[in-house]
Amino acid sequence: MAEKNVRGMRVAIVVTDDFEQVELTEPKKALQEAGATTTIIAPKSGRVQGMNHDEKADTFPVDLTLGQADPREFDAVVLPGGALNADALRVDEKAQEFVRTMDRQGKPLAVICHGPWLLVSAGLVKDRSLTSWPTVQDDIRNAGGLWEDREVLRDKNWVSSRKPDDLPAFNREMIAVFAESARQQKKVA
């Protein structure tokens, strides 16, 4: 469908060790099936460790480090969750600057589970509506954001979801928002 076309989009997936694996693999698969190119970006080179809840799962190759990645070369960003992943990324200055730059440029952002911690620490959630894993709601509210307990929530160019069970809705809305952004970029070009 034309309204779901993300063909040619370059999507950054920003993670570090101990991310919730399915929150990377399922959005990545959905994006690739819709025609986007995905790039795993992490603070360090090599491989990053996925988790199935609290058990180690697979490792994934890092395509670019945060030091190498230029947010201007990407059209959208995905932030998987996992408490340890999100807690480590939220204090990484390069990760904060990456999402700030993407947001300043009006590029779409999809975030799930504990992923909003990076947005909180980057100072981006004030007056934005989003959902997350329930334990993150106080951080979002304390940073001036509006938190709702919903399967998927869209606020302008942002899409957020609570947990792995929400992935079907998250992926549908992520593709829709990214496709809308791609159409707008084509009109500008």
Q: Return the active site residues.
A: 114
Q: What is the 3-state secondary structure (H, E, C) of 7-58?
A: CCCEEEEECCCCEECHHHHHHHHHHHHCCCEEEEEECCCCEEEEEECCEEEE
Distance CA 46, CA 107 (A): 27
Distance CA 174, CA 11 (A): 11
Please list, residue by residue across 63-78, b when 16 or more beta carbons sit within 10 angstroms of its beta carbon and e when fewer do: ebebeebebeebbbbb
Comparing CA positions, the residue from 121, 103, 108 lying closest to residue 160 is 108
